[in-house]
Structure 1
Amino acid sequence: MCRWVAYAGEALHPSTLILDTPHSLVAQSLNSPLGKETVNGDGFGIGWYPAGDVPGKAPALFRSVEPAWFDENLSEIARAIETPLFFAHVRAASGPPIQRTNCHPFRHENWLFMHNGALHGFTRMRRELLLLIDPALFPEVRGTTDSEVLFHLALTHGLREDPLAAMSRTLREVERIGDQLGIPHPVQGTFAVTDGTTIWAFRYSSIHDSRTLFYSEDLGTLQQTYPDLDRLRVFTKGARVVVSEPLSDLPGAFIEVPESTVVVVDRTGCRLEPFLR
């Protein structure tokens, strides 16, 4: 449905990952071997926390309905800014209109959210799901995607206090409504959320056959394995990337996230935890 990249580490230019790697996010927008759709040309977005900002400050956001490979502004911005944490996403629309408010990532205060996949039967569930959103948050739902509804449901269920519990309650709520309406296996996808300090990336579907998700190997390990590889030297040892599919063909560089698992990336490192098993 879509492809995305989440990065945390020392500040760098996002172009390092979304433009300059052998299988960059922009390259995936034209040719995605592991995606449901080969081409993801229905818009893109990038959300980033500028280097030096204090924790808790809202991230910057740039979204466009242009194909990522076509938009010169994306190249200019990605090479100009520096950020220690960013989300980037290329979209393949599954039904809702191609408009800027439907492009990921979505933002609320200091939080970002993005999604690859779909809520099956969303048009039938949409009214019930929208009614569950906190009335104070409802005016912020400006687009028509299932992803934006999921984000605001998660905020309603306490995302800011406990992201794991909030995402669990949100996806179970969707499954409950789907069951009431006779919609089997309504949840499909990978989901990423951040508060600007920690990244939580979920791989989950009701049918337990989710879209692909990978995280990068420890940089120290990779640099020891490939000491002469120049492109690894731009990253510090604490850098981590979570992606829909690997950004290169380097053996051992990316590890697949198991089904029904959340990857947590923070200042202590990277860890995997069970999720909705």
Structure 2
Amino acid sequence: MFYWFLKFIALGPLLRVVFRPRAEGLDNVPAEGAAILASNHLSYADWLFMPLVLSRRVSYVAKAEYFTGTGVKGRLQRTFFSGSGQIPIDRSGANAAEGALISAKGVLGRGELFGIFPEGTRSHDGRLYRGKTGVARLALETGVPVVPVAVIGTDTVAPPGKKFGRLARPTVRFGEPLDFSRYEGMAGDRYILRSVTDEIMYAIMRLSEQEYVDVYASRAKADAKKAARAGDDEAPREGDRKAS
């Protein structure tokens, strides 16, 4: 009930009035039954705007820390995330991917919608990065369709590294469902998993019109930080400039 309270009374109406999000391709999302909504990931606000434009509930996995806080802040945070459709998962351990998969299967097994960001983390520069194969494994093991999704403009509302940016009108674009039933029983083949994942990412790329980079986003972020630190180290200090 808290999910619908947030969506239609407490938070949703405010977001609709302030940001006026647009939705395209809503007919591509099944009116009933399970489906995976695979989206690009530009901002922490993505998980707010995508469910906002749908009449059905969408569940995601979220860091377990959001559900284990203490005190007033911890209780409020726990209530918000659990009530807004988030599922706790410990992403620090070796079994994080397996735990996420089990949680996702539970959502899909109930005939609900499960949202996933195949890139695994937010894009730091607006480009679309290589997808992780968990989305393919989930699709093949459950047999449900994958709806590619492009969320556009959320990196203006909430840019990477900032809580707030500037006012913009986000667009959520849903593509035609992808059916991978031809690969039934092949979830253990890593080449099939990569092929399915790449097909999903290609569909997202066409919807979002982002530049695609065949590198994992986490690796690209690490390389960017390393390059930035190297640049800072090479920059001349004030004393060096005076001496020269």
Q: Which protein has greater RCO, CA pairs closer than 8 Å, 6+ apart?
A: 2
TM-score bracket, normalised by the shorter chain, equals 0.3 to 0.5
Higher helix share: 2
- Rg: which structure is higher? 2
TM, length-normalised to structure 2: 0.32
